[in-house]
Structure 1
Amino acid sequence: MSDHSATVRNGVPAALADSDFLRACRGEPVRRTPVWFMRQAGRSLPEYREARRGVPMLESCFRPDLATEITLQPVRRHGVDAAVFFSDIVVPLKALGIELDIKPGVGPVIEKPVRTRADLDRLVPLDPGMVAPIAEAVRLTVAELGGTPLIGFAGAPFTLASYLVEGGPSRTYENTKAMMYGAPELWRELMERIAGIAAVFLNVQIEAGASAVQLFDSWAGALSPRDYRELVLPASRSVFEAVAATGVPRIHFGVGTGELLRLMSEAGADVVGVDWRVPLDEASRRIGGGKPLQGNLDSTVLFAGDEVVREHARRVLDDAAGLPGHIFNLGHGVMPNTDPEALTRLVAYVHEQTER
């Protein structure tokens, strides 16, 4: 075990356990509502574009010094209550030797999609040594963050499986669903393998010092509740179970998942992330209450001016008033053209409005 685990409380270093972010994850009273933003480390920041000038996306993920710098940038600029590790959900696939690239304006593109049982042979178990640069980046980042928690993350099995089967982003998921429905045993084996890969990737980040983890199921909104329950939930649950013994908070987030919130909670999350489509009080009702939520300001509101941003942020805070815990976030990621100063002002507003 690494040194950070020598003195722990609730699965994280004692020095961090009392942070508002981790207290909110556990449903404990906070000094003020903690704030962080999905994709806060990235394209909206000029310092990010400068740091990554001439460096391909995936290469930057495997360079510990660069990944550390990018992770720290929004903490310095915005004063957020948690850092999210700069990486990408396809990083563990790249580490396995899967031929893929992240193409600007498109996203991850897989050269040879996984469509047959023979294709599964490329998905070998992830050895922690394959992602040693990621572990090193996490260690470097944690050393720089001081009292600010670091969130590690991974792509959820369904979203990663869809990228692999489709070969890239999709609007219809026709190949993915054809496998789900037409070759259910092949689908289950694919999901089991990806779940194992995601679990190792999360545990590597936790062992290196991450204080919480988030599982992103970006594409789960394409599923019906029945399909999610039968064909996806078991794999996501196995990922959460694989990190349960660490004691770190586990966050689950998907886009367009209003009909799936209860099921996503049942997968094993300690905190459920909610996109902008469902108010937080309604989301809590759908889940069954009793669980902290994360969210959920519409990212596009940030383009409408400070007065509108404050109005909508106040609405989110009011919706969250009865929750056992609330982490303020956007309903999806920060958009590339967002004014960074608008994010900084939003953090200050939420802190001021919720000071206990």
Structure 2
Amino acid sequence: MKRLSLKDVAKLAGVAPSTVSFVLNGKAKQMRISDELAAKIEAVVRKSGYTPHQVAVNLRTGQSKTLGLIVESISGSFFASLAKIIETEAEKYGYRVVYCSTENNAQKGGELIRMLSRQQVDGYLITPTAGMEKDIQQLVDYKRPVVLMDSFFPTLSQVPYVLIDNYDGMVKGMQHLINKGYKQIGLVTVDMDLVQIKERYKGYTDTLRDNGIANKKKYQLKLPYNITREEAVQHIADFVKSNPQMDAVFFTTNYLGIWGLETFAKLGIRIPQDMAVICFDDHDLFRLYPPGITVIEQPVEEIAKTAIRLLMQQLNQTKGVTKKSQVTLPGKFIVRGSV
């Protein structure tokens, strides 16, 4: 079936193609087109099923009114919440969002950037993974609006970003454990070369040092990013059983914390009687799991809203909302029954 053109719709409505274009682009009142005629044209468009050719619209307006959102994982609760808020905020500025994930694969991340470029998105919101530096630098070189979230690259000093203060959040959690009398504190983290993970690890080691507590490598477990749930649970179980003197465990991501809870349940370890637990990043499960898991909550809504404002500034859609282009936000320390 032949695709309807703008001229076809104009012929059906008995008007000039330019009149149809003005109505579809929301310029009816500006061009003094009557409400009755605009309604007639809109009715013809609906009845005919006409949709503007997006590439042609992009070429004519210089904008696609679409943003590209690249996150680490579609399944992660943090990234899902982030995407939902970004979509809502983008709509306020008249933008749609194309949403995709890297699964922590730099090659895939580069391919997604190029795919979004072919779709002529107006700007990029990216939670980057290690190895994407060159692709993001290329966006900057081409003067494409881009904002990084959750992480950044120190070598790309001019790229706007917004994220939680990972170091401070970790220090607060560790100090809380130590103040409660815990000294044999284990760390379960993910083996990823990302700023946020490095900062969380540094917060762990620095707090031990500042309190005169030995930093024991045997108390640290680094799991591969692509490990399966079954493998992770087994590794955590082996880690806990090989360190019976450990009295607390700090998980650096919420999915690691969930695997940890599954492990403790299988081993019959009671929280906090046998093991105190803190997790970086909250999850609904942590509120519901007895006795409640103490967490550092990420300000997801503020991260998303700030990222959109930074991007809109680059797109000249807003002015003077955010003074800095590189923003670090405080986390919220939520004490529950696990410590």
Q: TM-score range by the shorter chain?
A: under 0.3
Greater CA radius of gyration, 1 or 2? Answer: 2
Q: TM-score, normalised by structure 1?
A: 0.27
* Structure with the higher helix share, 1 or 2: 1
Q: Which has the higher contact order (CA 8 A, sep 6+)?
A: 1
